[in-house]
């Protein structure tokens, strides 16, 4: 229903017009006014859709009404319904905005005029509505484009900007709107412009939207942009490209960093795992490559499972509770776990875990774990600990552990008033085995002794090896001396059993010294020192026995140490001299040589036997300068004999194993020969069996060199060591010296007689001469002569003489 306002002074005419319209189906309501004032009021309050106005009225007129209506509401259609008004007036009214003119006498035209006018109004309103909507849409589009964070643009085929939003201008450092109309090559360096243009072309060719990552030169330098470009269709051909682009430089940097971190984690040599602690049963969500290679489990096998599968069935591990607590309390921790490879083998895993939270102070949702396979390191540590406390050869406690055990045992013994005993054990003649059969054989013997000692003590006692052939027993709570003696006898009994080494039965004995707490010392150091002193006493009183510590033994130890101290100055102080013991040819009784024997004339202690200082000198290395002195003195004095007019005399000089082992030994001998001028044939070097049977090939080389120099060689103490006859054959030996222990009873003990006879026969078979030492009685001499021995020496033949005595004796013999 429309609203019609009649500007009409005659109500009847208004009613007639209304009826006519109703008749034509135009539903309406109407009001009528006939003054300007009422017209304005009705325009305001009634709000008509159409005004039908008479032209001339008593108090108003149609043209004025038209002006008022157009002024108040210009869009309202206005139709004159009047008598004839003349052509001029009609044109004027149409100019002023009237829509139509209907003559009252022809009211039948009114309905069509109203319908046409209303239709025009409707079309106009529709157009205006569309325009308004377009305006609104345009406004929304530009608000959207101007406020979006990325750059938006439209370019034509030549790369000219048709549209560029605020963000694009800002990014390129342009004034607002400056890009419009400019080509890419006017805004970017050529290379970049070409690349952007090529991207545009790809979109045009594809005829669809594409996402392209492009490098763009912005005011902040070159940046990476992710552009979404699409063809804008105009008619059938795409001639424009729309695009939106966002700066992804930061994102790419972050992505690159993430990629780098990811690669670093993957490249890490340690297994790294990530666990989701918010999911049920906390499954693994990531494992790196090292995890796969070290555990043997692939990612597929590991991911989704709780880490506990690495423990296999070994789930009762003390450190596991520590691990659980750390996860519960969301804190870092490190634990040592026994884990298992896929093949079931165990590895020790030093696991470090740390919580990963969502941002700072956020909830912990993951744990990262780094695994270290420390199996080798732990084994190495255990080995080191073992080496620090145990002897590698025997597996027995070493000095370190022994000290610790003695300290502990002392604390216990003090608290419970118990006794404890230290037994110091030194093998007798071990050096002989070592030197004659080699270190390998010596090691075998030591290992056997270790096992035997272990079998002699009770559980709780300690057997330690503290040096080459030195052992210590720590006996706990042996309350009676008789009990200790019993253990000592057991040791002796075990020791004496032969040991089969390298095909030879070797019998080893030992000397033992015993010191007990509290009687012989109250601390570890004094107990060990006193047991050592007691062992020395056992050794010097015949070996293969044991001695309980007595107070005066310390004095002897002190003396021994003082003697060693003095030995260092003896050579410099010219305290040594040589004695010469004559050696005779048994067939003729002629003196054919002498043996040089060293003596130490100690300024306070008097004459000291080589038995008391040679072992000491061998131990501390002084034997080298002392041995050289003996060589030079003996050779020089033999030349002095020659100078006295005596015939050349052979001198036998004793060598020690250390001298023979010296690298420059041969040159020392050569220098001595050169310096003294002695005939090499007059120099005999005495070696012992034990010296030559060790390192045989090297020794043969040295002996051959000496032999080539025409020096004579004799094998001393023959029969006491472990000679191999096969080697003996290869040694360039001139003489075998039967040890005096066999000569001593050769006339009364059939065994010694047979040994001596055998040695003589053996030597002769090998075309070697034999000399017997220790000839003390005429029976000895008779026996040797009878059995074809070549030469002899001994107190019965001649005591060792000072050089002057020897010279006098020889000169006297020459005169006789
Ligand atoms: N490396 C060196 N060793 C040396 C040197 N001088 C001696 N020695 C060795 O010391 C050991 C003891 O020697 P010594 O006390 O001199 O005894 C020798 C003789 O005095 C002794 N002997 C001689 N005749 C008899 C005898 O009839 N009965 C008896 N009971 N003893 C006697 O024997 C020793 C000689 O032994 P040997 O050398 O085996 O021929 C001794 O081992 C010496 O070798 C030295 O300068 N360097």
Report the complex ipTM.
Answer: 0.95
Q: How far away, in angstroms, is 594 Cα from ligand 1 center? A: 12
- Average pLDDT on 304-323 reads 94
Does residue 530 have its Cβ closer than 6 Å to ligand 1?
A: no
Closest ligand 1 atom to residue 659 Cα is 1
Cis ω before 528 (30° cut-off from 0)? no
- What is the model's pLDDT at position 237? 65
Q: How far away, in angstroms, is 563 Cα from ligand 1 center? A: 20
Reply yes or no on whether the pLDDT at 729 is more than 90: no
Q: DSSP states of 537-577 as a string?
A: HHHHTTSS-EEE--TTHHHHHHHHHHHHHHHHHHTTTT-EE
Reply yes or no on whether the pLDDT at 271 is more than 70: yes
- Average pLDDT on 710-728 reads 79
3-class state of residue 604 by DSSP: coil
Lowest-pLDDT range of 10-24, 421-435, 714-728: 714-728
- What is the model's pLDDT at position 525? 93
- What is the model's pLDDT at position 654? 97
Residue located nearest, by CA, to atom 30 of ligand 1: 774
Give the total residue count for the chain: 816
Do the Cβ atoms of 218 and 192 come closer than 8 Å? no
- What is the model's pLDDT at position 755? 93
Report residue 238's pLDDT band, with 50, 70 and 90 as the boundaries: low
Report residue 553's pLDDT band, with 50, 70 and 90 as the boundaries: confident
Residue located nearest, by CA, to atom 31 of ligand 1: 774
Q: What percent of the chain shows pLDDT beyond 90?
A: 71
Lowest-pLDDT range of 57-71, 181-195, 196-210, 556-570: 556-570
Question: Which tens digit of pLDDT belongs to each residue from 623-635?
Answer: 999 999 999 999 9
Rounded Cα–Cα distance for residues 649 and 402 (Å): 56
Mutate which of 659, 773, 795, 806 for ligand 1? The one with the most ligand atoms within 8 Å of its CB, which is: 773
pTM confidence score: 0.52
DSSP assignment letter at 586: T
Does residue 688 have its Cβ closer than 6 Å to ligand 1?
A: no
Phi/psi at 264 (5° precision): -65, -45
- Strands 470-476 and 346-357 come out as unpaired
- Average pLDDT on 30-37 reads 96
- What is the model's pLDDT at position 662? 87
Q: Supply 342's token pair.
A: 């896929």
Q: How far away, in angstroms, is 589 Cα from ligand 1 center? A: 21
Contacts of 511 (CB under 8 A, 6+ apart): 425, 426, 428, 535, 538, 539, 543, 544, 545, 546
Q: Match 């472990």 to its residue by tokens.
A: 722
Does residue 612 have its Cβ closer than 6 Å to ligand 1?
A: no
Dihedral of CA atoms 310, 316, 320, 325 in degrees, nearest 10, equals: 130
- Average pLDDT on 264-278 reads 94
- Strands 420-427 and 470-476 come out as antiparallel
Q: Supply 305's token pair.
A: 């499972």
- What is the model's pLDDT at position 721? 63
Q: How far away, in angstroms, is 739 Cα from ligand 1 center? A: 11
- What is the model's pLDDT at position 479? 67
Does residue 598 have its Cβ closer than 6 Å to ligand 1?
A: yes
Integer-rounded Cα Rg, in Å, for the chain is: 63
- What is the model's pLDDT at position 19? 95
Count other Cβ atoms within 10 Å, centred on residue 394. Answer: 21
Rounded Cα–Cα distance for residues 634 and 193 (Å): 106
Closest ligand 1 atom to residue 655 Cα is 1
Report residue 603's pLDDT band, with 50, 70 and 90 as the boundaries: very high
Adjacent-strand bridge partners of 459: 461
Reply yes or no on whether the pLDDT at 201 is more than 80: yes
3-class state of residue 464 by DSSP: strand
Does residue 581 have its Cβ closer than 6 Å to ligand 1?
A: yes
Q: Supply 321's token pair.
A: 């509770």
Question: Closest Cα partner for 302 from 320, 282, 324, 283?
Answer: 283
- Please, what are the domains in the chain? 2-127 (3.40.50.2300), 148-252 (3.30.450.20), 272-379 (3.30.450.20), 390-550 (3.30.70.270), 567-815 (3.20.20.450)
Q: How far away, in angstroms, is 765 Cα from ligand 1 center? A: 27
- List, in sequence order, every beta strand (DSSP E) within 108-236: 151-156, 161-164, 210-218, 221-234
Q: Supply 120's token pair.
A: 């025009």
- List, in sequence order, every beta strand (DSSP E) within 45-168: 50-53, 78-82, 100-103, 151-156, 161-164
| Residue 18 zone, left/alpha/beta (φ > 0; ψ -120 to 50; rest) | alpha
Question: Which tens digit of pLDDT belongs to each residue from 390-403?
Answer: 999 999 999 999 99
Average pLDDT, the chain: 91
- What is the model's pLDDT at position 680? 97
Q: How far away, in angstroms, is 701 Cα from ligand 1 center? A: 27
Does residue 800 have its Cβ closer than 6 Å to ligand 1?
A: yes
Half-sphere exposure in the Cβ direction for 452 (13 Å, CA): 24
Q: How far away, in angstroms, is 363 Cα from ligand 1 center? A: 91
- What is the model's pLDDT at position 559? 82
Reply yes or no on whether the pLDDT at 229 is more than 80: yes
Report residue 554's pLDDT band, with 50, 70 and 90 as the boundaries: confident
3-class state of residue 533 by DSSP: helix
Q: What H or E segment, with its residue span, contains residue 93? A: helix 87-95
Reply yes or no on whether the pLDDT at 604 is more than 70: yes
Reply yes or no on whether the pLDDT at 258 is more than 70: yes
Q: How far away, in angstroms, is 758 Cα from ligand 1 center? A: 23
3-class state of residue 712 by DSSP: strand
Does residue 689 have its Cβ closer than 6 Å to ligand 1?
A: no
- What is the model's pLDDT at position 524? 93
- What is the model's pLDDT at position 220? 75
């Amino acid at each position: 229903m429309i609203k019609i306002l009649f500007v009409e002074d005659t109500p009847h005419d208004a009613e007639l017009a209304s009826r006519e319209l109703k008749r034509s189906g135009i539903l309406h309501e109407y009001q009528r006014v006939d003054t300007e004032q009422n017209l304005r009021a009705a325009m305001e309050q009634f709000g008509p859709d159409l005004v039908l106005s008479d032209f001339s009225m008593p108090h108003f007129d149609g043209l004025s009404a038209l002006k008022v209506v157009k002024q108040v509401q210009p869009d309202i259609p206005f139709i004159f319904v009047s008598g004839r008004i003349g052509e001029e007036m009609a044109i004027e009214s149409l100019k002023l905005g009237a829509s139509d003119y209907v003559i009252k006498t022809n009211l039948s035209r009114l309905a069509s005029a109203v319908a046409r006018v209303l239709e025009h109004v409707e079309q106009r309103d529709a157009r205006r509505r569309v325009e308004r909507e377009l305006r609104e849409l345009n406004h929304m589009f530009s608000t959207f484009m101007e406020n979006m964070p990325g750059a938006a643009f439209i370019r034509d085929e030549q790369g000219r900007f048709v549209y560029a939003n605020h963000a694009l201008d800002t990014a390129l450092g342009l004034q607002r709107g400056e890009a419009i109309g400019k080509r890419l090559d006017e805004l970017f360096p050529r290379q970049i412009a070409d690349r952007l243009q090529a991207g545009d072309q790809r979109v045009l060719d594809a005829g669809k939207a594409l996402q392209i990552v492009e490098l763009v030169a912005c005011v902040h330098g070159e940046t990476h942009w992710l552009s979404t470009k699409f063809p804008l269709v105009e008619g059938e051909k795409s001639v424009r490209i729309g695009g939106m682009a966002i700066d992804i430089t930061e994102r790419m940097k972050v992505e690159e960093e993430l990629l780098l971190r990811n690669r670093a984690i993957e490249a890490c040599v340690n297994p790294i795992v990530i666990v989701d602690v918010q999911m049920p049963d906390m499954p693994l969500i990531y494992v790196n490559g090292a995890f796969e290679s070290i555990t043997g489990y692939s990612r597929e096998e590991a991911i989704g499972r709780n880490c506990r599968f690495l423990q296999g069935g070994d789930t009762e591990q003390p450190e596991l509770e520590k691990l659980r607590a750390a996860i519960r309390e969301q804190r870092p921790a490190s634990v040592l776990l026994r884990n298992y490879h896929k093949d079931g083998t165990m590895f020790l895993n030093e696991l470090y875990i740390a919580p990963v939270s969502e941002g700072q102070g956020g909830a912990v949702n993951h744990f990262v774990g780094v695994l270290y396979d420390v199996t080798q390191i732990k084994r190495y540590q255990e080995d080191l600990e073992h080496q620090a406390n145990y002897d590698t050869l025997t597996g027995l406690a070493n000095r370190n552990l022994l000290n610790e055990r003695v300290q502990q045992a002392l604390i216990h013994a003090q608290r419970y008033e118990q006794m404890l005993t230290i037994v110091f054990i030194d093998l007798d003649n071990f050096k002989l085995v070592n030197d004659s059969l080699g270190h390998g054989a010596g090691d075998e013997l030591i290992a056997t002794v270790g096992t035997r000692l272990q079998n002699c003590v009770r559980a709780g006692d300690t057997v330690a090896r503290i040096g080459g052939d030195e052992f210590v027993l720590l006996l706990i709570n042996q309350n009676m001396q008789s009990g200790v003696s019993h253990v000592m006898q057991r040791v002796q009994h075990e020791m004496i059993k032969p040991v089969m080494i390298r095909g030879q039965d070797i019998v080893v004995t030992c000397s033992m010294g015993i010191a007990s707490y509290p009687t012989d010392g109250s601390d570890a150091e004094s107990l060990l020192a006193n047991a050592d002193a007691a062992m020395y006493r056992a050794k010097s009183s015949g070996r293969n026995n044991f001695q309980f510590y007595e107070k005066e033994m310390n004095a002897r130890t002190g003396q021994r140490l003082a003697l060693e101290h003095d030995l260092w100055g003896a050579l410099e102080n010219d305290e040594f001299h040589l004695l010469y013991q004559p050696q005779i040819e048994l067939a003729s009784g002629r003196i054919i040589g002498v043996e040089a024997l060293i003596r130490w004339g100690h300024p306070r202690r008097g004459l000291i036997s080589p038995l008391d200082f040679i072992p000491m000198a061998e131990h501390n290395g002084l034997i080298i300068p002392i041995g050289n002195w003996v060589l030079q003195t003996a050779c020089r004095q033999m030349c002095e004999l020659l100078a006295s007019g005596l015939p050349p005399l052979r001198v036998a000089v004793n060598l020690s194993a250390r001298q023979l082992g010296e690298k420059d030994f041969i040159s020392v001998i050569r220098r001595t020969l050169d310096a003294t001028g002695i005939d090499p044939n007059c120099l005999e070097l005495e070696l012992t069996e034990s010296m030559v049977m060790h390192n045989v090939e090297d020794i043969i080389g040295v002996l051959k060199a000496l032999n080539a120099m025409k020096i004579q060689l004799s094998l001393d103490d023959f029969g006491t060591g472990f000679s191999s006859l096969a080697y003996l054959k290869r040694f360039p030996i001139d003489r075998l010296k039967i040890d005096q222990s066999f000569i001593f009873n050769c006339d009364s003990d059939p065994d010694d007689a047979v040994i001596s006879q055998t040695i003589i026969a053996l030597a002769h078979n090998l075309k070697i001469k034999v000399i017997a030492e220790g000839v003390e009685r005429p029976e000895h001499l008779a026996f040797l002569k009878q059995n074809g021995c070549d030469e002899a020496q001994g107190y019965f033949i001649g005591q060792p003489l000072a050089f002057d005595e020897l010279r006098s004796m020889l000169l006297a013999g020459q005169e006789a």
